[in-house]
Amino acid sequence: MSEQHTAVVRPSGRYAAAGATAVAHPNIALVKYWGKRDEELVLPRTDSLSMTLDIFPTTTHVRLDAAARRDEVTLGGVPATGEALRRIVAFLDLVRDRAGLSVRAVVDTENTVPTGAGLASSASGFAALAAAAAAAYGLGPDATALSRLARRGSGSASRSVFGGFAVWHAGAGTGAGADAGSYAEPVPAGDLDPALVIAVVDAGPKAVSSREAMRRTVATSPLYGPWAASSKDDLVAMRAALLRADLDTVGEIAERNALGMHATMLAARPAVRYLAPATLMVLDSVLRLRRDGIAAYATMDAGPNVKVLCRRADADRVAAVVRGAAPRATVHIARPGPGVRLLNAGGR
Contacting ligand 2P0 within 117-146 (CB under 6 A): 120, 122
E strands, the chain, are: 20-24, 27-31, 36-38, 43-44, 48-52, 58-65, 72-75, 78-79, 104-111, 165-168, 184-186, 194-200, 296-300, 306-311, 330-334, 341-345
Q: Which of 107, 272, 286, 302 binds ligand 2P0 (CB under 6 A)?
A: 302
210 lies in the binding site for ligand 2P0 (CB under 6 A): yes
Contact range with ligand 2P0 by CB under 6 A, out of 148-156, 230-238, 275-283, 284-292: 148-156
Please name which of 107, 100, 80 lies closest in space to residue 14, comparing C-alpha atoms: 100
Q: Which of 46, 111, 154, 221 binds ligand 2P0 (CB under 6 A)?
A: 154
- By beta carbon distance, the residue nearest ligand 2P0 is 155
Contacting ligand 2P0 within 10-29 (CB under 6 A): 29
To ligand 2P0, the closest distance from the beta carbon of 154 in angstroms equals 3
Q: Measure the CA–CA gap between 204 and 192, rounded to whole angstroms.
A: 33
Contacting ligand 2P0 within 46-75 (CB under 6 A): 48
To ligand 2P0, the closest distance from the beta carbon of 16 in angstroms equals 27
Q: List, in sequence order, the alpha helices (H) in 247-348.
A: 247-266, 277-291, 315-325
211 lies in the binding site for ligand 2P0 (CB under 6 A): yes
Q: Which of 41, 42, 105, 189 binds ligand 2P0 (CB under 6 A)?
A: 42
Please name which of 119, 156, 152 lies closest in space to residue 274, comparing C-alpha atoms: 119
Contact range with ligand 2P0 by CB under 6 A, out of 139-147, 151-159, 226-234, 280-288: 151-159
First-residue to last-residue Cα distance in the chain: 30
To ligand 2P0, the closest distance from the beta carbon of 251 in angstroms equals 17
Contact range with ligand 2P0 by CB under 6 A, out of 7-15, 31-39, 91-99, 198-206: 31-39
SS3 content of the chain, % helix, strand, coil (to 5): 40, 25, 35
Contact range with ligand 2P0 by CB under 6 A, out of 67-75, 153-161, 221-229, 332-340: 153-161
Query: Which residues, other chains included, contact 156 with Cβ-Cβ below 8 Å and sequence gap of 6+?
Result: 27, 29, 33, 48, 50, 120, 122, 123, 168
282-317: burial string, b at 16+ Cβ within 10 Å, e else: bbebbeebbeeebbbbbbbbbbbbbbbbbbeebbeb
> Please, are residues 194 and 336 in contact by the beta-carbon 8 Å criterion?
yes
Residue 38 or 65: which CB sits closer to ligand 2P0?
A: 38
156 lies in the binding site for ligand 2P0 (CB under 6 A): yes
111 lies in the binding site for ligand 2P0 (CB under 6 A): no
Rounded (5°) CA angle 310-334-128 = 135
Residue 36 or 104: which CB sits closer to ligand 2P0?
A: 36
231 lies in the binding site for ligand 2P0 (CB under 6 A): no
Residue 182 or 285: which CB sits closer to ligand 2P0?
A: 182
Q: Which amino acid is present at 113?
A: V
Residue 211 or 317: which CB sits closer to ligand 2P0?
A: 211
To ligand 2P0, the closest distance from the beta carbon of 92 in angstroms equals 16
160 lies in the binding site for ligand 2P0 (CB under 6 A): no
Element (H, E) at 93: helix 82-99
257 lies in the binding site for ligand 2P0 (CB under 6 A): no
Q: Are strands 72-75 and 104-111 parallel, antiparallel or unpaired?
A: parallel
Interacting residues with ligand 2P0 (CB under 6 A): 29, 32-34, 42, 48, 120, 122, 154-156, 210-211, 301-302
